[in-house]
Amino acid sequence: MKKTAIAPSNIAFIKYWGKRDEDLRIPSNDSVSMNLSDATTTTTVEFVQSLKKDEIELADGAFNKNEIARIVSHLDRIRGLANSADRARVVTKNSFPKGTGIASSASGFAALTVAAAGAAGLSLSEKELTILARLGSGSACRSIPDGFVQWSTGETSNESYAWSLFPSDYWDIRDIVVIVHDKAKKISSTEGMRYITTSPYWEQRQHEVGQRIVKIKDALTQKDFSQFGGIAEEDCLSMHAVMMTQSPALVYWNSATMNILQSIIRWREQGLPVYYTLDAGPNVHVLCEGKDEGRLQDEIFGLSAVQSVILNTPAPGAQVHEDHLF
Ligand code: DP6
């Protein structure tokens, strides 16, 4: 059977940085995110009895050896659940150009999970799909449910899953991804998370993060944008403080990043409600309400550090798609 799925990437407002269990990818803390409309991955999977090995292709690019190995392990998990030994043909395509520095592991493993589970004939609930996607890449589980999503930590694998807090049409907010650097990062999130406890701020972050989850959900419920943006910034800074004080230190920001953060602070002082968050990289996610997007775009395009932007609205989660890639 051949199945295709399309899945969005997502941006976390309360971040996942650290694992309680590395093999099972159970996070140290809950996180809260939003799916991104314009950063998606489409993947087609077909299990074929006559294939000797998995054939995996990235349209407009190439996977490296480690990426291939991680995809094959995920296919093995799905074969295990389906009690099948058939190898797969996999073709995958990102909506955002390769080399924009946008992490594709969230959208990639969410699309792979939904397409491969379908192609293997498994019929899994949304919760089960989030647990399965999590085993491929932690943040991928948040790309399965609709809109605004929470992912819980847990004592066991079955307790660590993601669910929708609010659907994608709940609140018209935007994430303008400002790309300032287009090279893949040297240290992956998986690798970087191994050294979290070397940061003196790690324990402090663990004390604070539960309160921030409560506050951001409250801000979402009230649609209070300044409270929402303020907490997202606070959590981003807390995660980057941990990253920068880990050993070895992870400093993802560059001078263009700082230039944009300072511009955002200046625009806010001038009365424009705008906030920022960043993942494990130098590109800035600029958060605003739909009504302010036009004004903000003009400001952003006026900055010389900007290479390109991706405009995102809140999006539905991973879905089966009728058009196959092969
Ligand atoms: C900084 O999900 O890429 O983007 O589970 O090891 O695959 P693995 O890590 P990954 O980590 C994402 C970390 C982050 C923050 C976030 O998205 O919450």
111-143 pLDDT tens trace: 999 999 999 999 999 999 999 999 999 999 999
φ, ψ (nearest 5 deg) of residue 190:
-55, -45
Contact 325/43 with Cβ under 8 angstroms?
yes
Between β-strands 148-151 and 19-21, what pairing exists: parallel, antiparallel or unpaired?
unpaired
Q: Which residues contact ligand 1 via a Cβ below 6 A? A: 12, 15-17, 25, 31, 103, 105, 137-139, 189-190, 193, 279-280
How far apart are the CA of 98 and the centre of ligand 1, in A?
A: 18
Contact 115, 283 (CB under 8 A): no
Dist. CA 16 → ligand 1 center (Å): 6
CA distance 211 to 286: 23
Task: Indicate which atom in ligand 1 lies nearest the CA of residue 10.
Answer: 17
The closest-lying atom of ligand 1 relative to the alpha carbon of residue 109 is: 7
The encoded tokens of residue 190 equal 């998986």
| Among 171, 141, 170, residue whose Cα is nearest residue 157 | 141
203-240 pLDDT, tens digit per residue, is 999 999 999 999 999 999 999 999 999 999 999 999 99
Closest Cα to atom 5 of ligand 1: 138
Encode pLDDT of 171-194 as tens digits: 999 999 999 976 767 788 999 999
Q: Which residues pair with 35 in a beta bridge?
A: 10
Q: Using most ligand atoms within 8 A of CB, pick from 189, 213, 238 the residue to mutate for ligand 1.
A: 189
Q: Hey, what are 215's tokens?
A: 């506050």
pLDDT at 100 over 90: no
Average pLDDT (246-258) is 95
